[in-house]
Amino acid sequence: MPDYMYRHIFAVMKIVVAIYTIFCFFCMLSSCAVSNNPMRHQLKLLQKGIIKDDTSFVYHLPYEENKTHLLVQGYFSQYTHMHRAALDFKMKKGTKVCAVRDGVVMRIKKDGNRGGTNIKYRPEGNYIVIQHEDSTRSGYWHLKHDSIFVKVGDVVKQGQVIGLSGRSGYTYFPHLHFIVWRYDKNDKWTQVGTRFQTQKGIRYLRPFRFYRNKKTTN
């Protein structure tokens, strides 16, 4: 076989290997891009309104009435919520954070004064955890240094301002990371999805959408 034929075959083989490598890379990405947690599927049905017989508690959005915030990560979203039923609301530092329902403050951290994209900042995240009457708990993360207005044991009312948002802990930008947990049959705390009262009605929130908190007072 002449030389140029070898060169031709070799070039074709290189292209095939390159295409195969790219194909494998995208397969790998797509296989790890979604969680196989069954709750993810159930939440999708709830978000789309396909499951309708929902009698679960309706939560107050974790910010003031008549205010609007963008949800930047939803339940089981890609990036850092891949395996979490958690919500990230974009908020400027110093935004008032409100209790989503009545409860008792279980834990707080308020002395963290550093935050950033390095995982070493994770323990610096300021937070509030509140227990509710049905034994579920809600958690508010990345709060501003020394800006928590409640203490452990305090009784809080739905809509009460409990602290200010910030950028403490392991985070790329100022936001509120919000979670609800339920103590399940296997004696484990499990994150769960919840629905919220918004200006447009009761919703399971979806990422990249703005949600205005309903004005209930005059």
| Shortest Å, Cβ 88 to Zn ion | 4
- How near is the Cβ of 79 to Zn ion at its closest, in Å? 9
Q: Which of 88, 124, 162, 163 binds Zn ion (CB under 5 A)?
A: 88
Main-chain dihedrals φ then ψ at residue 186, nearest 5 degrees: -90, 20
Nearer to Zn ion, 88 or 124 (CB): 88
Minimum CB distance to Zn ion smaller for 72 or for 162: 72
Instruction: Using the minimum distance from each CB to Zn ion, give the nearer residue, 86 or 156.
Output: 86
Instruction: Give the integer Cα–Cα distance in Å for 208 and 190.
Output: 25
User: What is the size of the binding site for Zn ion (CB under 5 A)?
Assistant: 3
CA 200 distance to own-chain centroid: 21
Instruction: Tell me which stretch binds Zn ion (CB under 5 A): 80-88, 90-98, 153-161, 181-189.
Output: 80-88
User: Counting Cβ atoms within 10 Å, is residue 109 exposed (0-12), middle (13-18) or buried (19+)?
Assistant: middle
Q: Cα 70–177–64 angle (5° rounding)?
A: 55
Amino acid identity of 141? Answer: W
By CB under 5 A, the residues from 119 to 178 that bind Zn ion are 177
Closest CA to 178 of 208, 123, 137, 121: 137
Quote the least distance from Cβ 75 to Zn ion, whole Å: 11
Q: Rounded to the nearest whole angstrom, what is the least distance from the CB of residue 132 to Zn ion in the complex? A: 20
Contacts of 106 (CB under 8 A, 6+ apart): 129, 130, 131, 137, 152
**At closest approach, how far in Å is the CB of 33 from Zn ion?**
17
Residues 6+ apart with CB under 8 A from 189: 137, 181, 182, 183
Minimum CB distance to Zn ion, residue 156 (Å) = 22
Element (H, E) at 176: strand 175-183
Stretch of 45-53, 85-93, 103-111, 113-121 lying at the interface with Zn ion (CB under 5 A): 85-93
Q: Which is nearer to Zn ion, 85 or 86 (CB)?
A: 86
| Contact residues for Zn ion, defined by CB under 5 A | 86, 88, 177
